[in-house]
Chain A
């Protein structure tokens, strides 16, 4: 009844089959109450930490969301450490040392991720610069219009102007 296919095998067809679909379609881990810590405050800390850690064999899932064996092991490690009195930072450091950057869903700021973390500032600064440049160009643009207006009249324009002047002179001559 409860035979669940291995996690990765379940995810792969879901990804391949799903059209442009929503997350790696795999049913959730329901969890096991026995894993949880008795102290609600400690358990809340463990879950907050767990949501920052990646289930290494899954597609973009935190260890709290996955029912892969590895995720369960990591959940237990997190809770074990917390029960032993480790701080949040110590627990994360412990797992980071063992599994590397890949385990952190919030990538650490390193030379390799500097560009990633700078992306919001770069995008905003780049966009703002482009807007300022465009505004400056626009401020120059009206001058160009003025120059164009000051250009000598073409032959056709001169003829039209003469016709208008002639018509005006005609109107003036007529008694009102």
Chain B
């Protein structure tokens, strides 16, 4: 009964979304306040309906209702409740319901917190969100019904993929979706602006909090996924340039560009057309990511061709939304006169440069991700595009961007001179050079990690120089504290986000110095790696709620003093008959000791040992970046001008 109610709620949501997509739009065109006023209640209604459907699905998983196909395929009664619940979105159908739920939440937030928006603009934004919702609800209802029944019901479910049974993964999709779907709101604002034919500073102020919130969530989502890959997949790596990863990186790159160009619209009313285009692009890339992952086209074009229903549906949605938006852009954008004159060397100019490089990186990642498919289908050649290509192709574009970041943040608006900025940054440059030489001296002729450390110091010191300059720390130290308190939070947030990237750079550079060893040890034997003594104490059996395991105990010592006891596992999941490796990690913030247990043979256990310097800094930096975004979001000016931002952070 409950699944049927959920199914019905989805259908109801679809109808409400259709009404939300049509009525306010009509109202805004006809300037009919009654129709315009229907937007917020319709958005609220759609939110309630989707939430009801999602709750019904959660319930089906929680009670392990084996008459529901999705539960049978993805759940099992022996799973802990937490993973039963997170299993709701650990599959295709459920994850699409989560997608739509977050979209409806965004719509509800625009309706609820956007009362200060001009009525027509709010109506158009809600209408566009409604239209996006219709497409995805239709997709779910037509091709991916999460409430499909099976009869007679099997005795129990088939279990969730054990690799996905992890707390990190409980949060990863919701965070990622908050980012993806947050760009649906900036997309809706952009389309609304195109329909109205007007973009001004006020529009920039309304869009920026959404761009910030979406960006912060996407940053966290990507970082969480990368962290999960690091500790769960057991490769000891953190980024593999996998198409699925690239699919989330693309909107992040476009969204980062959007975040910066929206500042120019808000402060200077320049780059308006470009910002609208970026808002369209960020969501287009979010949709493309959804298509790439959901259609199975990445797995193989042939798998896609054998069951194309879902893929073709998403492709049609992609073509409709993106094509429609770009057609609208081509039609209306020329009417928006460029304003806000600035010299090439200015804050605006620096932000244009930022956009140029970010978009170039985005284009390269996009081309690299799609090229194997293109080569196979069009040229009839099978090629692989892997990490060596992406590293070689994106680094030359990322390096100038990092070099310019501290400079750009210190340039004044409209017209600038380079010399005063360089004067404020000389000590940051000196620190970066010192870091380079120090790293070369300590790590020995390892050029890339050394450059990474230099970049890290340059970014962090540059952000510090930016703040020091704003609070006049060196010019008038006495007043610095008062000025620091008066400094807008957006300034702190920006500097923090830039410094966060520096921290991530340091982590990546540290991982460039990582070492590992593959050893077969008998209990009592030990191996040496990176100055540590790794000793296998023994291997024994262990059991969990729905798995059994072999668990090794490895003690790590340095100069005779015990540092850590690590217990890596090989888990066996009888339901689904799968084996996973659970890496054991000990961190002290500066380095990770990382052990993976392999097969056992002749009384010896195979162990892969890793020493990963600064590894946690990769994700720490991302968290700092997201924190900077959040700090900017809490800026009084942002809150007062645009009451919308509270909406996005809703239930993470």
Give the B-binding residues of A (Cβ under 8 A). Answer: 1-5, 10, 12-28, 30-34, 36, 51-52, 54, 59-60, 62, 65, 100-107, 112-113, 115-117, 119-120, 123-124, 127-128, 131, 134-135, 137-138, 141-142
Bound complex: CA A135 to CA B344 (Å): 9
* Closest CB in chain A relative to B390 CB, distance in Å: 10
Bound complex: CA A18 to CA B596 (Å): 23
Contact residues of B between 81 and 97, Cβ < 8 Å to A: 89-92, 95
Do the beta carbons of A30 and B598 come within 8 Å of each other? yes
Bound complex: CA A139 to CA B225 (Å): 46
Do the beta carbons of A14 and B359 come within 8 Å of each other? no
Partner of A51, one of B164, B379, B387: B387
Indicate if B550 sits at the interface (CB-CB under 8 A).
yes
Bound complex: CA A2 to CA B383 (Å): 34
Bound complex: CA A18 to CA B579 (Å): 17
The chain A residue sitting closest to B89, CB to CB, is A19
The chain B residue sitting closest to A14, CB to CB, is B161
* Closest CB in chain B relative to A142 CB, distance in Å: 7
Bound complex: CA A134 to CA B344 (Å): 12
Do the beta carbons of A106 and B379 come within 8 Å of each other? no
Indicate if B491 sits at the interface (CB-CB under 8 A).
no
Indicate if B385 sits at the interface (CB-CB under 8 A).
yes
Do the beta carbons of A141 and B338 come within 8 Å of each other? yes
Binds A, one of B133-141, B169-177, B631-639: B169-177
B553 partner residues in chain A, CB cutoff 8 A: none
Indicate if B478 sits at the interface (CB-CB under 8 A).
no
Bound complex: CA A2 to CA B384 (Å): 31
Indicate if B559 sits at the interface (CB-CB under 8 A).
no
Listed A/B pairs (18) with beta-carbon separation below 8 Å: A5-B578, A18-B161, A18-B244, A19-B98, A20-B173, A22-B245, A30-B581, A52-B386, A59-B242, A59-B299, A101-B382, A105-B384, A105-B389, A119-B393, A120-B397, A127-B356, A131-B356, A141-B337
B360 partner residues in chain A, CB cutoff 8 A: 120, 123-124, 127
Indicate if B305 sits at the interface (CB-CB under 8 A).
no
A142 partner residues in chain B, CB cutoff 8 A: 341
* Closest CB in chain A relative to B295 CB, distance in Å: 11
* Closest CB in chain B relative to A22 CB, distance in Å: 4
Total residues of chain B contacting the partner, CB 8 A: 90
B245 partner residues in chain A, CB cutoff 8 A: 22-23
**Other A-B pairs beyond A34-B520, A54-B384, A120-B394, 11, CB < 8 Å:** A14-B163, A19-B91, A19-B95, A21-B244, A22-B245, A32-B606, A59-B299, A60-B243, A106-B392, A107-B385, A113-B371
* Closest CB in chain A relative to B355 CB, distance in Å: 8
B226 partner residues in chain A, CB cutoff 8 A: 22
Indicate if B513 sits at the interface (CB-CB under 8 A).
no
Partner of B577, one of A3, A138, A141: A3
Do the beta carbons of B234 and A19 come within 8 Å of each other? no
B163 partner residues in chain A, CB cutoff 8 A: 14, 25-27
B338 partner residues in chain A, CB cutoff 8 A: 134, 137-138, 141
Given A1-B550, A131-B356, residue A54 in contact with residue B386 (CB < 8 A): yes
* Closest CB in chain A relative to B471 CB, distance in Å: 33
Indicate if B208 sits at the interface (CB-CB under 8 A).
no
The chain B residue sitting closest to A141, CB to CB, is B338
Indicate if B612 sits at the interface (CB-CB under 8 A).
no
Do the beta carbons of A21 and B344 come within 8 Å of each other? no
Do the beta carbons of B387 and A131 come within 8 Å of each other? no
Binds A, one of B52-60, B362-370, B437-445: B362-370
Indicate if B629 sits at the interface (CB-CB under 8 A).
no
The chain A residue sitting closest to B180, CB to CB, is A20
B607 partner residues in chain A, CB cutoff 8 A: 30
Do the beta carbons of A21 and B392 come within 8 Å of each other? no
Indicate if B597 sits at the interface (CB-CB under 8 A).
yes
Do the beta carbons of A22 and B172 come within 8 Å of each other? yes
Bound complex: CA A15 to CA B248 (Å): 15
Bound complex: CA A113 to CA B388 (Å): 14
Bound complex: CA A131 to CA B367 (Å): 21
B234 partner residues in chain A, CB cutoff 8 A: 27-28, 30
Indicate if B247 sits at the interface (CB-CB under 8 A).
yes
Given A2-B599, A102-B384, residue A123 in contact with residue B359 (CB < 8 A): yes
Do the beta carbons of B229 and A23 come within 8 Å of each other? yes
Q: Convert B577-588 into 0s and 1s, putting 1 for each residue whose CB lies closer than 8 angstroms to a CB of A.
A: 111110000000
Given A21-B244, A116-B371, A127-B356, residue A32 in contact with residue B598 (CB < 8 A): yes
The chain B residue sitting closest to A54, CB to CB, is B384
Bound complex: CA A21 to CA B290 (Å): 10
A24 partner residues in chain B, CB cutoff 8 A: 242, 244
Given A60-B386, A116-B371, residue A30 in contact with residue B596 (CB < 8 A): yes
The chain B residue sitting closest to A144, CB to CB, is B337
A100 partner residues in chain B, CB cutoff 8 A: 382
Indicate if B228 sits at the interface (CB-CB under 8 A).
yes
Do the beta carbons of A106 and B577 come within 8 Å of each other? no
Bound complex: CA A107 to CA B393 (Å): 12
Do the beta carbons of A107 and B160 come within 8 Å of each other? no
Do the beta carbons of B519 and A33 come within 8 Å of each other? yes
Bound complex: CA A3 to CA B571 (Å): 11
Do the beta carbons of A2 and B244 come within 8 Å of each other? no
Do the beta carbons of A20 and B244 come within 8 Å of each other? yes
Bound complex: CA A19 to CA B396 (Å): 32
A32 partner residues in chain B, CB cutoff 8 A: 518, 598-599, 606
Bound complex: CA A102 to CA B289 (Å): 24
Indicate if B426 sits at the interface (CB-CB under 8 A).
no
Do the beta carbons of A105 and B385 come within 8 Å of each other? yes
The chain A residue sitting closest to B226, CB to CB, is A22
* Closest CB in chain B relative to A98 CB, distance in Å: 14
Q: Convert B341-376 into 0s and 1s, putting 1 for each residue whose CB lies closer than 8 angstroms to a CB of A.
A: 100100000001000110110011001100100010
Q: Convert B456-467 into 0s and 1s, putting 1 for each residue whose CB lies closer than 8 angstroms to a CB of A.
A: 000000000000
Partner of A105, one of B90, B388, B597: B388
Indicate if B481 sits at the interface (CB-CB under 8 A).
no
* Closest CB in chain A relative to B185 CB, distance in Å: 18
4 shortest interchain CB distances as A-B pairs: A105-B386, A30-B598, A19-B95, A106-B388
The chain B residue sitting closest to A60, CB to CB, is B242
Do the beta carbons of A60 and B233 come within 8 Å of each other? no
B172 partner residues in chain A, CB cutoff 8 A: 21-22
Given A30-B598, A30-B608, A107-B383, residue A20 in contact with residue B388 (CB < 8 A): no
Bound complex: CA A104 to CA B289 (Å): 25
Bound complex: CA A2 to CA B577 (Å): 10
Indicate if B296 sits at the interface (CB-CB under 8 A).
yes
Partner of A19, one of B173, B236, B299, B596: B173
**Among B289, B519, B598, B606, residue most surrounded by chain A Cβ atoms (within 10 Å):** B598
Given A1-B550, A28-B596, residue A105 in contact with residue B387 (CB < 8 A): yes
Given A31-B608, A32-B598, residue A10 in contact with residue B578 (CB < 8 A): yes
Given A32-B606, A33-B519, A101-B383, residue A60 in contact with residue B240 (CB < 8 A): yes
Bound complex: CA A15 to CA B384 (Å): 19
Partner of B296, one of A15, A20, A115, A138: A15
Given A30-B597, A116-B371, A124-B397, residue A20 in contact with residue B290 (CB < 8 A): yes
A62 partner residues in chain B, CB cutoff 8 A: 386-387
Given A17-B92, A21-B244, residue A112 in contact with residue B173 (CB < 8 A): no
Indicate if B405 sits at the interface (CB-CB under 8 A).
no
Indicate if B498 sits at the interface (CB-CB under 8 A).
no
